[in-house]
Amino acid sequence: MCRESGIDIVAEVENATVTDLAEELSSLILQARFFGRGHRVIAEGIDLVLRICARLHAARRGGPVTIGCADGLLFADSRPLLRADRAAQKLRPFLESLGAGGITMEPECGAEDLRALLGLAECRKPEELGVAGANRELAANGTGGIRILPLYSETPSLEGDREAPQAAQRIVTVSERVYEGLFDHLTEVMLRLVRGELHFLEETQAEVERTLSRLSEDAASVFDTIQRETSRSDVFQFRHSIRVGCLALEFARALTDDRELLLRLGTAALLHDVGKRDVPPEVLRHPGRLSGEMLEAMRQHPRYGARLLLRMPDSDPLAVAIAFCHHRRSDGGGYPESVDLAELSLATHVVKICDVYEALTAERPYKPRMTPRRAYRVMIGMSGQLDPALLHRFIDVVGVWPVGERVRLRSGAVGRVVAQTGCHDRPVIRLEGERDPVDLRGARGDDLGPVAGCPVEHPEEQPVS
């Protein structure tokens, strides 16, 4: 389904699930707010949703497809869409604002119905419209192929379905909520920028403060959550920004305990790519590597970002500098080109390192995820681009086995990295089912042979099931 990936969409639609439908619908609603209903990307999105619907209707032998909404979760076929992408969950606030218990799509659902649904999503006061009003709008502007459902409590025949979402809600962790808070906030930032509203830095800082507190309590679970999050429709690459923001906070925590500076740096890191808002959507959504004109368009984002951040009434020079300079090099190269720039600041160097590391170790549509060890080799070879002393410090802080990674020991036991020790390949881990962490430096023998307790397999190369 992933339009970003350029993977064979036809093949993916064949395997589409209701979760995919929820995700594409959410994405469509969000993108209509960003780009307007008349944009070409909306027409493409509608086409994709209709193809998924057709596949799901066929699997149901012509029956309707229903996405339920109850107790703060989406669900289908009596099962919560629990591990559905965060983006899919964005359908929920829309349904909740109408006081609805779900949405159902009939086999005859067509483009007009989806356009009517997008019109509904733009309604300023959905709570006044309610379910009945929403259905009147859908019937008036569409063909009746989509209906909004009343709350489950008002649908006695479906009462039995309430158990599953309630049970599922209990396992949403604090770190997942922190992640969701960051994702929601970045979405809100983009929507406000579309409306020309520039007041949000204070709120960004509040989200960063929550993240910083969570990192000091349990960095392993934050990075574990980030690692597990997947997204099919991350047009503005929020996942990248969130990971860069968290990495920058984690790295900077080891460099300073000046909390105010940490908050400013974390905020700047989270917003470093905010200028992508002004990059044409076809460039942002382009599957694969960019070349020629597209690359040039993408290379404008530092300039756009700095301009946006400068126009804010509570603008922070640190955030402006990082947005403008994070693709510039210490030796004067990189972009944007500028003749009168001072040396890159330490804060910019911190974000640059986290930005490059994130890009290398993240899975992208056109490349697999790189191990941290290999990423460090690449980064050390990028002479003139990254500050060497700071890069070595980063490697010490993040380690070869980053916090949050699942690892398997020679003994076969599985655990999670919870802290670094300064000894790159011997972190502190917590074995599954154990309370006390184990410092792997203690497992070092006098000889250099294999040591019991040493992680020997990377989760990437041999996934831990």
Hey, how many other C-beta atoms are within 10 angstroms of the C-beta on 70? 24
Where does this chain touch Fe ion (CB under 5 A) — which range of 135-143, 205-213, 266-274, 439-447? 266-274
- Sole residue written with tokens 């709350």: 151
12 binds Fe ion (CB under 5 A): no
Q: Which of 102, 93, 112, 110 is nearest to 30 (CA)?
A: 93
Give the residue with the Cβ less far from Fe ion, 147 or 352: 352
Binding range to Fe ion, per CB under 5 A, among 7-15, 18-26, 149-157, 272-280: 272-280
- x/- letters, 40..69, toward Fe ion (CB under 5 A): ------------------------------
451 vs 443: CA distance, rounded Å: 7
Residue pair 91/29 in contact by the 8 Å Cβ criterion: yes
What's the min distance (Å) between Cβ of 396 and Fe ion?
A: 23
- Least Å distance, CB 453 to Fe ion, is 37
Build a one-symbol-per-residue string for 344-363: x at contacts with Fe ion by CB under 5 A, - elsewhere. -----------x--------
Please report how close the Cβ of residue 325 comes to Fe ion at its closest, in angstroms: 10
Cβ at position 367, least distance to Fe ion in Å: 16
Pairing of strands 65-70, 73-76: antiparallel
User: Helix 372-380 to helix 388-398 angle, to the nearest 10 degrees?
Assistant: 170
- Whole-angstrom distance, CA of residue 143 vs CA of residue 53: 16
Residue 121 vs 270, nearer CB to Fe ion = 270
Nearer to Fe ion, 23 or 355 (CB): 355
Residue number with CB closer to Fe ion (234 or 355): 355
207 versus 355: smaller Cβ distance to Fe ion = 355
Nearer to Fe ion, 273 or 316 (CB): 273
Which residue, among 235, 275, 294, has the nearest Cα to 42 in the 3D structure? Answer: 235
Q: How far is the CB of 275 from Fe ion (least distance, A)?
A: 8
Question: If binding means CB under 5 A, how many residues of this protein chain bind Fe ion?
Answer: 2
Bridge partner residues of 407 (DSSP):
415
Strands (E), 198-337: none
Q: Which is nearer to Fe ion, 136 or 289 (CB)?
A: 289
Scan residues 124-163 and list those touching Fe ion (CB under 5 A).
Answer: none
Of 211-219, 270-278, 310-318, 390-398, the window that binds Fe ion (rule: CB under 5 A) is: 270-278
List 106, 161, 234, 273, residue binding Fe ion (CB under 5 A): 273
CB of 232 vs Fe ion, minimal distance in Å: 20
Residues 404-463 within binding reach of Fe ion (CB under 5 A): none
- CB of residue 241 to Fe ion, shortest distance in Å: 7
The residue (of 23 and 273) whose beta carbon lies closer to Fe ion is: 273
| DSSP assignment of 326-356 | TTB-TTS-BSS--SS--PPPHHHHHHHHHHH
Q: Where does this chain touch Fe ion (CB under 5 A) — which range of 170-178, 267-275, 341-349, 433-441? A: 267-275
Structure tokens at 281: 């959507």
Instruction: Report, in angstroms and rounded to the nearest whole number, the Rg of the chain calculated over CA atoms.
Output: 24
Give the distance, in angstroms, between the CA of residue 2 and the centroid of all CA atoms in the same chain. 14
Q: Which stretch binds Fe ion (CB under 5 A): 57-65, 143-151, 170-178, 269-277?
A: 269-277
Residue 146, helix vs strand vs coil: strand
Tokens of 208: 């960063």
- 146, 109 in Cβ contact below 8 A? yes
Q: Is residue 14 a contact partner of residue 55, using CB atoms and an 8 Å limit?
A: yes
Shortest Cβ 89–Fe ion spacing (Å): 24
Nearest approach, Cβ of residue 274 and Fe ion (Å): 10
Q: Where are the beta strands (DSSP E) in 46-187?
A: 65-70, 73-76, 79-80, 102-105, 146-149
**Phi, psi for residue 325 in degrees, rounded to 5:** -100, 0
Q: Whole-number minimum distance, CB 313 to Fe ion, in Å?
A: 24
User: Please, are residues 223 and 402 in contact by the beta-carbon 8 Å criterion?
Assistant: yes
Q: H-helix or E-strand containing 409?
A: strand 406-409
CB atoms within 10 A of CB 63: 12
Select 49 or 279, whichever has its Cβ closest to Fe ion. Answer: 279
- Span near Fe ion by CB under 5 A; candidates 52-60, 194-202, 271-279, 456-464: 271-279
Task: Read off the amino acid at residue 376.
Answer: Y
Length of the chain as a residue count:
465
Cβ proximity to Fe ion: between 253 and 276 the closer is 276
Q: What does the binding site for Fe ion look like in residue numbers (CB under 5 A)?
A: 273, 355
